Amino acid sequence: MEKEVLSILDKRTNFPYDIPIEKGAIRASDLRRIKSGPDDFGLMSYDPAFLNTASCQSAITFIDGDKGILRYRGYPIEQLAEKCTFLEVAYLILNGELPTELQLKNFVAAITRHTMLHETTKSFLEGFRHDAHPMGMFISTVAALSTVYPDAKNVHDPEVRKLQIHRLIGKVPTIAAYTYRHSLGYPYIYPDDDFSYTENFMNMLWKMVEPKYRANPVLARALDILFILHADHEQNCSANVMRAVGSSQADPFVCIAAAAAALSGPLHGGANEEVLKMLDEIGSKENVRGYVDKIKAGHGKLMGFGHRIYKNYDPRARIIKWAADQVFVATGRNPKLDIALELEKIALEDEYFIKRKLYPNVDFYSGIIYQALGFKPELFTVLFAIPRTVGWLAQWQEMLQDPEQKIARPRQVYTGYDVREFVPIEQRAVRAASASR
């Protein structure tokens, strides 16, 4: 078959170039051959915020944003959410195939073995102020695990990597639950390996004086589904951070802390908490139209709406809406749902949102269901970080095994001064400082 090429004529030199096209992409480094003269560095591509740059090849997650499709390792998210447990999906994401019964049993046992935190890590958590945000505690405590497991630095040993992956997946719910108990001043509850991953998490969050905590199975399943939906989402902001920090061969604990920091921002995973604040601000269905008009006039954004990749309904939001109905049977309806449904209806019929292809994303309904499950808004982004740890680790592992990957180091288009004569301090005049220089 004939190779696909892009032919470019550089009008500066009238020199033609053939740039190979592979899998629908050209290699940006091929552009370096295009020079205006012998001293020219070569052409670069300029792509702030990576709007059109593939930073890696990946076989983990597939998204078709126009059609609203999401698949992990080729399996549609709808089927995985309906038929699998979270740890089954975690195994799939990390290893590429769905586990056999025995593989799953061993994987669950390996994760369960690593749910405890070192007592010094518990004391570390106790040092936070009572009103510390759970996400700040989560990020710092995950980073602190790097000091507990110095063996994790050996990132090129597959067995060492596997051990850290089990440790991290096992420990993130324990850290998350302890951040919650800390903010309430409750004693920490140790993990209980009689329970499934999500039941154990609920146990560590909510067990009080009863001898054995019993999770409501409907709520535990709903949380498991939410974890499945949040497990990976290809090269989003936090996955990109995971890969970038990991590319310097830093250990996975500090890499996960960095990725979680990226997740915490309100434009990324922090949006679920912001949605609840927004629904509180709107207050009632009657105020929705006025609120939407304010957004259209340029006052803020509709939180939980819009996505860099999805220009259609986010398939995860659809499943969350379905799961919310199951949860509300057990918990009673969250009155904020009516405001959210009205907001969605008005926005989806509005020219502003239609033109920009702004649809509800995963964060729009997740807060409502989390609140019905009994979580406080401050914990919502931590609830996102627990399952996303699996995706971050899969992306990290894939990056380390990819012979084409090197330390992440983008180029820049320099816009500062050319060389200047140094001015001694007594001769310096006050000039208007430019933030960009």
User: Which residues in the 271-290 window bind ligand ACO by CB under 6 A?
Assistant: 271
391 part of the interface to ligand ACO, by CB under 6 A:
no
CA distances from 410 to 40, 49, 113, 176 (A): 18, 11, 40, 34
User: At closest approach, how far in Å is the CB of 391 from ligand ACO?
Assistant: 11
Q: Cα-Cα-Cα-Cα dihedral of 320, 168, 183, 379, to 10°?
A: -20
User: At closest approach, how far in Å is the CB of 368 from ligand ACO?
Assistant: 14
Catalytic residue among 30, 268, 338, 350: 268
Alpha-carbon distance 123 to 102, whole Å?
A: 37
112 part of the interface to ligand ACO, by CB under 6 A:
no
Q: What angle do CA 222, 275, 198 make, to 5 degrees?
A: 25
Alpha-carbon distance 243 to 362, whole Å?
A: 23
Nearer to ligand ACO among residue 65 and residue 96 (C-beta): 65
Region binding ligand ACO by CB under 6 A among candidate stretches 3-11, 251-259, 264-272, 424-432 = 264-272
Nearer to ligand ACO among residue 191 and residue 391 (C-beta): 391
Select the residue whose beta carbon is closest to ligand ACO and give its number: 306
356 part of the interface to ligand ACO, by CB under 6 A:
yes
369 part of the interface to ligand ACO, by CB under 6 A:
no
Contact 251, 396 (CB under 8 A): no
398 part of the interface to ligand ACO, by CB under 6 A:
no
Region binding ligand ACO by CB under 6 A among candidate stretches 193-201, 266-274, 278-286, 320-328 = 266-274
Contact 255, 246 (CB under 8 A): yes
Catalytic residue status for 192: no
139 part of the interface to ligand ACO, by CB under 6 A:
no
Region binding ligand ACO by CB under 6 A among candidate stretches 254-262, 337-345, 359-367, 398-406 = 359-367
361 part of the interface to ligand ACO, by CB under 6 A:
yes
Catalytic residue status for 39: no
CA–chain centroid gap for 13, Å, is 45
Nearer to ligand ACO among residue 108 and residue 340 (C-beta): 340
Alpha-carbon distance 159 to 252, whole Å?
A: 14
User: At closest approach, how far in Å is the CB of 395 from ligand ACO?
Assistant: 15
172 part of the interface to ligand ACO, by CB under 6 A:
no
267 part of the interface to ligand ACO, by CB under 6 A:
yes
269 part of the interface to ligand ACO, by CB under 6 A:
yes
12 part of the interface to ligand ACO, by CB under 6 A:
no
Alpha-carbon distance 88 to 97, whole Å?
A: 10
Alpha-carbon distance 113 to 167, whole Å?
A: 8
Nearer to ligand ACO among residue 358 and residue 386 (C-beta): 358
Catalytic residue status for 268: yes
358 part of the interface to ligand ACO, by CB under 6 A:
yes
Catalytic residue among 307, 338, 350, 418: 307
User: Which residues in the 297-326 window bind ligand ACO by CB under 6 A?
Assistant: 301-308
- Residues marked as catalytic: 268, 307, 363
List residues near ligand ACO by CB under 6 A.
Answer: 267-269, 271, 295, 301-308, 356, 358, 361-363
